[in-house]
């Protein structure tokens, strides 16, 4: 008895099926390879973009830090220069006070006469009240003021000088008031130093800016 395992048609179908399956496998492998290549390319592009963005962020941060550091250095230099100027002017005020305190009464009177006369010219004469510190106020007797008035009549007719009751806490000099006290000329040493400081601010800061150590020392 003969046992039939399969017909030629079945073999043909089997071969065709294997061939088709192999073709599908090859196509699938090719498509998979293409997908992998595309994914790798996209990943590389994405990675490059991320790296570029990261580098740009780092550069931006670095520029900001450098700019901030430069600003802080400039501010620190300006503060140092201002401190130097403050020390110089404080020393000048202390020196001036010491010189004035060491001056004899005739010398102090001569300086006061000059300062009062300058203020009287600016105010145009009239009834003038003089405000001084306690030490200088004691020097201006009625006789002294009368002598000043007499010597100024030619250029300031009718000028009248009197001591104000208020004593000022100033190093020296005088504040002269006119018009019932509403108009004044501040010829105190402190005010004259302040005016000199303001006038010399830019030249002094320019000199300090050129110093290698910022003016310290």
80 assigned to some structural domain = yes
pLDDT surpasses 80 at 1: no
Q: State whether 96 and 113 are in the same domain.
A: no
Output the pLDDT for position 164.
94
* Beta-strand runs (E) in 93-206: 127-131, 160-163, 173-178, 183-188
Per-residue pLDDT tens for 115-163? Answer: 999 999 999 999 999 999 999 999 999 999 999 999 999 999 999 999 9
pLDDT surpasses 50 at 4: no
- Compute the C-alpha angle 113/114/120, nearest 5°: 85
Output the pLDDT for position 78.
67
Q: What percent of the chain has pLDDT over 90?
A: 37
Among the residue ranges 52-61, 165-174, 198-207, the one predicted with the least confidence is 198-207
Output the pLDDT for position 110.
94
Q: State whether 21 and 79 are in the same domain.
A: yes
Q: State whether 61 and 109 are in the same domain.
A: no
210 assigned to some structural domain = no
**What angle, rounded to 10 degrees, do the helices at 189-210 and 8-102 form?**
140
pLDDT surpasses 70 at 213: no
pLDDT surpasses 70 at 18: no
Give the range of the structural domain holding residue 78, as residue numbers without chain letter.
7-102
pLDDT surpasses 60 at 201: yes
Output the pLDDT for position 134.
94
Q: State whether 65 and 123 are in the same domain.
A: no
At 158, which CATH number?
A: 3.30.2320.30
Q: State whether 11 and 78 are in the same domain.
A: yes
79 assigned to some structural domain = yes
Q: State whether 96 and 109 are in the same domain.
A: no
Output the pLDDT for position 211.
62
180 assigned to some structural domain = yes
Residue 2's pLDDT band, with cuts at 50, 70 and 90, is very low
Among the residue ranges 29-33, 89-93, 138-142, the one predicted with the least confidence is 29-33
Higher pLDDT, 72 or 27: 72
User: CA-CA distance, 181 to 104, in Å (whole number)?
Assistant: 30
pTM, rounded to two decimals: 0.57
Q: State whether 75 and 132 are in the same domain.
A: no
217 assigned to some structural domain = no
Q: What percent of the chain has pLDDT over 70?
A: 72
212 assigned to some structural domain = no
Output the pLDDT for position 208.
67
110 assigned to some structural domain = yes
Q: State whether 82 and 130 are in the same domain.
A: no
Q: How many domains does the chain have?
A: 2
Residues 97, 172 contacting (CB under 8 angstroms): yes
Q: Which of 102, 124, 149 is the last residue of a domain?
A: 102
């Amino acid at each position: 008895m003969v046992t039939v395992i399969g017909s030629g048609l079945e073999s043909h179908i089997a071969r065709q099926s294997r061939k088709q399956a192999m073709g599908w496998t090859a196509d699938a492998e090719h498509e998979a390879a293409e997908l992998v290549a595309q994914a790798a390319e996209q990943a590389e592009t994405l990675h490059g973009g991320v790296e570029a963005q990261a580098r740009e962020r780092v550069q931006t941060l670095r520029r900001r830090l450098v700019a901030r550091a430069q600003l802080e250095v400039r501010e620190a230099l300006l503060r140092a220069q201002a401190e130097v100027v403050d020390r110089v002017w404080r020393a000048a005020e202390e020196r001036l006070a010491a010189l004035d305190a060491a001056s004899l009464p005739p010398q102090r009177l001569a300086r006061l006469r000059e300062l009062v006369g300058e203020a009287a010219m600016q105010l145009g004469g009239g009834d003038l009240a003089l405000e001084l510190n306690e030490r200088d106020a004691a020097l201006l007797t009625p006789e002294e003021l009368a002598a000043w008035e007499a010597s100024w009549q030619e250029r300031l007719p009718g000028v009248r000088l009197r001591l104000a009751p208020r004593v000022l806490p100033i190093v020296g000099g005088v504040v002269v008031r006119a018009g019932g006290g509403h108009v004044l000329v501040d010829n105190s040493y402190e005010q004259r130093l302040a005016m000199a400081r303001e006038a010399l601010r830019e030249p002094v800061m320019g000199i300090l800016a050129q110093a290698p150590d910022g003016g310290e020392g």
